[in-house]
Amino acid sequence: MTGILLPVLKGLLVPVVCGVSGLNAGAGRGISETVDLIELNHFYDDLGRHAYDQVIFYEWSPDYCRFHVIAWCLVENNLHRMPTRVPGDSRQWAVRWYDRDSRMHREVRSALFRETWSQVDPERDNKKVLEEKYRVSLLRLNDRHHR
């Protein structure tokens, strides 16, 4: 009985979990998901020189009343992955790029956006609160890991 029930439960739970996380994967459109906060961080070294720009994606933790990093990426030289306002919706921000690992276009949206300039890397700093191995992460199609 348990052998039959487990696959049925998995079949019911995966769509529910994907729906809650804001997943939208349409045919030919790519992957679109929602996070609670997108941060554009400009990191400077100890001498005050610009080192790199990164986009950090966060999820709110009601248990700890704080944001936790779920993923991050560097902004490339040609400004791909730069957060922009969604056309026609001034309350939404999006980061769009071609994900070479999944071979699909990816879009991550959020109603919350912040831009920071720092000498402390917020992503690395967040690892002190929540180890990277415990991060939820963005949807990964190549290993069928769903949040």
pTM: 0.73
The model's pLDDT over 68-78, given as tens digits with 9 standing for 90+, comes to 999 999 997 76
What is the percent of the chain with per-residue pLDDT over 90, rounded to a whole number?
Answer: 47
pLDDT at position 138: 78
What is the percent of the chain with per-residue pLDDT over 70, rounded to a whole number?
Answer: 74
Say yes or no to pLDDT of 8 above 60.
no
pLDDT at position 114: 97
More confident: 57 or 127: 57
Compute CA distances 11 → 1, 4, 45, 54, 89, whole Å.
Answer: 16, 11, 48, 36, 34
Closest Cα partner for 71 from 93, 51, 55?
55
- Domain range list for the chain: 25-134
pLDDT at position 83: 95
pLDDT at position 85: 93
Say yes or no to pLDDT of 144 above 80.
no
Rounded-to-integer distance, Cα 69 and Cα 57, Å: 6
Backbone angles phi, psi at 72, to 5 degrees: -155, 160
Backbone angles phi, psi at 52, to 5 degrees: -165, 165
The model's pLDDT over 85-94, given as tens digits with 9 standing for 90+, comes to 998 877 999 9
Q: Could you tell me the two tokens for 99?
A: 């994900």
The model's pLDDT over 28-65, given as tens digits with 9 standing for 90+, comes to 568 899 999 999 999 999 999 999 999 999 999 998 89
Confidence of residue 134 (pLDDT cuts 50, 70, 90): confident
